[in-house]
Copies of this chain bind each other. A is one copy, B any other.
Amino acid sequence: MHKKQIKLSDLAEELGISTATVSRALKNYPDISAETKQKVIALANKWNYRPNSLAASLRNKETHIIGVIIPEVVNHFFAKVIKGIMEVAYDAGYRVMLCQSNEDYDKEVDDAHALLSSRVDGLLASLANHTRTFEHFYDFMDSGTPVVFFDKTSPEIKDCSKVIIDDYSGAYQAVESLIQQGCKRIAHLQGPGNAHTFQNRLRGYLTALKDYQLPVDPDLIIECPEFTLNRGRLSAHQLVALPKGVDGLFAVTDLLAIGAMKGFREKGIQVPEEVAIIGFSNWEMVEAVFPPLSSVSQPGYEMGRQATQILLKEIKASKNEEDITHETVTLATELVVRGSSKSV
C-alpha cells in the first residue's frame, strides 16, 4: 500500500505560506527572505521531502535522464562503456535508463519508442547486429532529442554524432604483425551479421593480406554466430583439419581467440610456435590465459565517456536553441603483443 509522499503543498500548508514560496525557497531563489528559506529547508529535511521529479519534468520539459540502448550487457567491452557513460552522466546530474536490445531488432525498436515516451533528454545507442532501418532513431532526431551512436553504428545514419573505434586499423595492424613474424596462412574468426565494426575488422584483415601479396583462402575465414569459448574452440578444430593447415589467427574478439587457443592445444598444436594468435578487445583476462593473448585494445570506458560528453554538449546546445555541429570521434586502437604471438 502506497503511503503518502510529502509534497510541496504539505510543506506550504504547515508553514502557512504558498507552494510558490516553498518551491523558490528550496531552489534558493534570491527573492525569498533568509528566514523563510531556513524554515522551509528545516521542515523539508525534517519531513524527508523528496520532490516528485515527474511533475517537475513535465513542467520543465526536461527529465535529466539519458537513454542507453546497448546490444548486450554481459560483455566486458560494453560493461566498460556503460561505466563510462554512467560516470559522466552522474557528474552532470543526469540519470540513465538502460535498455538491452539483446541483438534483437524488434526489441531495439520497442526500446527506442519507450525511451521516447519517457522523454529522455538524449539517447546513446549501439546497433544490434541485424539492424538495417533507422526510423526509430530518426524519431528522436525529428523531435529534437540528440542522439549519439557509439561502437556499432552505420554510415547510413547522417546528421548525428558518433564515437567509434578504428576497427580497420586495429585489425590491419594485428594481421600485419602476424605476417611480419612469418605467418603465411592466417585465419580470421569473423563476427556475425553485417555489423560495421566486424566488417571493418574483416576489411583490415583482407587488406593486410593483399598488401603483402598473400592469397585469401575462404576456408580460413570462419563466421562465428556467437562469441563463446566453445565456438572458438570448434573453429580451431576446423582449421586444424584443413589440408594446408594454418599458422596464424586473428579473431574478431578475445573470447573466440582464447577458445581457439584452447582448441589448438587440444589438437596438440603449440601456440605461438605453430600458430600465432591475436584477439581483439584486450580485456583483462587475456593476461590470465597461457600463453597470454596478444590483442588489439578497444577503449570501452573512454568511448562511453566521450559519447556521453558529446551528448551532454548537444543537449545543452539544443536547450539554448543553438545549432549543433555533429562530430565523429574515432578512438585509436593499439596492438598489445603478448605470448600468443611474437613481437616484430
Interface contact B48-A118, CB-CB below 8 Å:
no
Does B289 lie within 8 Å of A52, measured CB to CB? no
A17 to B96, CA, bound (A): 37
B289:A290 contact, CB within 8 angstroms:
yes
Name the B residues within 8 Å of A319 (CB-CB).
Answer: 2
11 contacts between A and B (CB under 8 A): A2-B143, A2-B145, A2-B319, A50-B113, A54-B119, A58-B58, A65-B97, A255-B284, A258-B285, A288-B289, A289-B289
Which of A74, A100, A143 counts the most chain B CB atoms within 10 A?
A: A74
Question: Among A75-83, A162-170, A237-245, A325-333, which stretch is in contact with chain B?
Answer: A75-83
Copies in the complex: 2
Q: Is A63 an interface residue (CB 8 A)?
A: yes
A38 touches B (CB below 8 Å): no
**A4 → chain B, closest Cβ, in Å?**
8
Residues of A within 8 A of B (CB): 1-3, 5, 48, 50-55, 57-58, 61, 63, 65, 73-76, 79-80, 82-83, 86-87, 90, 95-100, 102, 107, 113-114, 116-119, 139, 142-145, 228-229, 255, 258-259, 261-262, 265, 284-285, 287-290, 318-319, 321, 323
A265 smallest CB distance to B (angstroms): 8
| Minimum C-beta distance from A82 to chain B (A) | 5
